Amino acid sequence: MLRTTQPTVDTARHRPPAARAFAAAVLAAGAVCALALTGAPAHAAGAPQREALPLERLFDNRAVSDDAHPQDADFDGKGSSYSAQDLRAAGWTPGRTIAVDGAALGWPRTRPGTPDNVVADGQAVRLTGRGDALSFLVASSSPAGDRSGSDGTGTIRYRDGSRSPYRLQAPDWRHGPLTTKVVGLPHRNTSSGRRTETTRLYVVTVPVERSREIDAVVLPADGPTSDLHVFSLALRAPSNGWTGSWAASTSGYATVGPWTDRTLRLIVHSSAGGPRTRIRLENTFSQQPVRIGRATVALQGRGAAADGRPVPLAFAGRRAAEIPAGAQQFSDPVGFRVPPDTNLLVSIHLPGTVRALPVHSYSNQVSYLSADGAGDRTGDRGGDAYGQQLDGWPLLTGVDVGGGPGSVVALGDSITDGERATPGANGRWPDLLSRRLLGQHAVPRLGVLNHGISGNRVASDRYAGEGTSTVRSGVSAEHRLERDVLAQTSARTVVVFEGVNDIRAGTKADEVIGALTRMADVAHRRGMRVVAATIAPCGGFFDCTAEAEAERVAINRHLRNSPVYDAVFDFDAAIRDPRHPDRMLPRFDGGDHLHPNDAGMKAFSDAIDLRKLL
């Protein structure tokens, strides 16, 4: 726990040959006129084109049934479906907006047993506007239960007549990965009754041409994609006018208390400053909604006390909010000036009884919690109500400020998270990088977002992605790339500094390199700059064996020589002992030969060429 002290077959899904030929023609035309996202517009000449319709008018499959009438829906062609009761318990009620990774996706406004999704078959969906990316709420009902699900190529149509292709992959609703789902539900309805089995829904995001206005989205055509179901899609609005100032990753789902009617007072440290602010809360990995009674923000005074009266925050105009399972919630903008390089207090009242929460488990920073039954203390200027200390950050994943040039994301493990840096001093290497940016005028003063997770790996998951766990080292860097990098507020550049935990666990260099290469490719297609940092030496730590060292050397050789990355920061060279290159210099050693101390953190920050962040 988080530590404190003191079936009927739906024949509509099967298309007649003429419709399939029509869809194939649309896709072929899209392929001929395909637009590389960095290239010039391509135009279709005389290609057949379907009329674009709102998604709900295209629904042709019934995925959700009432537990009392499971025969009313058939998601997979075998009489199985999602439970309406499970969805309701997760906060996924008909017509509700489910905000995920910056996209506002609408859960279908339909009754159980009525059409609520479309099986992708080349349909044209009406969708207009501009955005950073396009998000789909999907699942596959692949007959073989293939974990990889179904995939296919669709087309985005723009108002200027150009088109661009996209690749959409929907994991299987029963066997897809738990670590990348948006929500997992505890049952599957069948024609013979309810079965205890996790069913899943996924949000998949694809790139769009940001400078062009979208006119319609053509779904992947029939064939291998005949089991790809789309429930909702939405453009992710650009985060213009905002800069990420502070962030933390959800590293797991932790048992707490139970806590009843308590208030959190979380201490976080700004990087960039600005004249207004908003916060981001995320109910990641949960199966049930979480209620927020009220929230405030203030500058920290001493301990849990605020330096001034806390400023109330609202959510869609209301002081209270309920965040569905797997979803996120931004607060409304408020005119609270955040100074750069300053501690803030974010207070969150939890009015009900809470037994588990998503959490960033290691903060290297003390936060606070009120006593059981203390009620809403978010407005307290003093800290007397906050008698317990926390060593993590529940629910809170971001603080944004108005204006600014955007942000850089530090994606890493415990070294980035601040292990062995002085507690409470904000001396992690991303903090020091922020101070370097603030103290110069040669490049924009970017916000710096720390997405390090203690124990995290690049190529394998530590946390399984479902249920409470004492292992809170997160899902893999590759699996959290969308949430922790691509969806971050105005993120322009990512610095990836990971891999030591992989090699310590016996993972081979080729596997880590493969994951890093795929991550760089995805980030580049989404318009981000990708910087790699070499893996620092760890000789002397109990499992940093000769075999692990050989893999580290191989990965670093790849990083230094590969054209995949826009730049490379040599953290290895910054702290290694020239006489014993498998070890760090003693003056940088935090004491365990794996984690650098404050001086080592400074060496990392000093090794960064600020001009290469842009």
> How many Å apart are CA 169 and CA 203, to the nearest integer?
10
Decide: 317 and 365 in contact? Cβ < 8 Å: no
The helix or strand, by DSSP H or E, that contains position 156, with its residue range, turns out to be: strand 150-158
Distance CA 155, CA 26 (A): 9
Domain 405-614 fold? Rossmann fold (3.40.50)
Q: Residue 529 and residue 525: Cα distance in Å, rounded?
A: 10
Which residues have C-beta within 8 Å of that of residue 259, sequence separation ≥ 6?
350, 353, 354, 355, 369, 372
Spatial separation of the C-alpha atoms in residues 312 and 160, rounded to whole Å: 44
| CA distances from residue 86 to 173, 373, 397 in whole angstroms, order as listed | 14, 29, 26
CA–CA separation, 190 vs 79, rounded Å? 6
Say if strands 343-360 and 294-299 run parallel, antiparallel, or are unpaired: antiparallel
**What is the spatial distance between Cα 96 and Cα 225, in angstroms, rounded to a whole number?**
27
Cβ burial of 563 (10 Å; 0-12, 13-18, 19+) is: exposed
**Tokens encoding 195:** 């079965």
Nearest to 63 by CA among 86, 94, 84, 89: 84
Entry pTM: 0.91
pLDDT in tens, 422-454: 999 999 999 999 999 999 999 999 999 999 999
Q: How many CB atoms lie within 10 A of CB 49?
A: 16
For the record, the structure tokens of 224 come out as: 């291998």
Regions of the chain short of the pLDDT cut 50:
3-46
Tokens of 189: 């309805």
- The H or E element spanning position 348 is strand 343-360
- Cα separation, 196 vs 83, in Å, equals 11
The pLDDT, as a whole number, for residue 100 is 98
Specify the pLDDT at position 225.
52
Helix or strand or coil: residue 199? Answer: strand
pLDDT digits (tens, 9 = 90+) for 535-564: 999 999 999 999 999 999 999 999 999 999
The residue with tokens 């100032």 is 245
Q: How many whole angstroms separate alpha carbon 521 and alpha carbon 538?
A: 29
- Greatest extent of the chain over all pairs of C-alpha atoms, in Å: 73
Task: Copy the structure tokens of residue 307.
Answer: 């330096």
The owner of tokens 């139970």 is: 258
**509-525 and 546-561 helices, crossing angle to 10°:** 30
- Cβ(165)–Cβ(34) below 8 Å: yes
CA dihedral 420, 421, 424, 427 (to 10 degrees): -160
Tell me whether the CATH fold assigned to 245-402 matches the one assigned to 405-614: no
Ranges of each domain in the chain: 11-236, 245-402, 405-614
The pLDDT assigned to 15 comes to 36
DSSP symbol at 424: T
CATH, range 245-402: 2.60.120
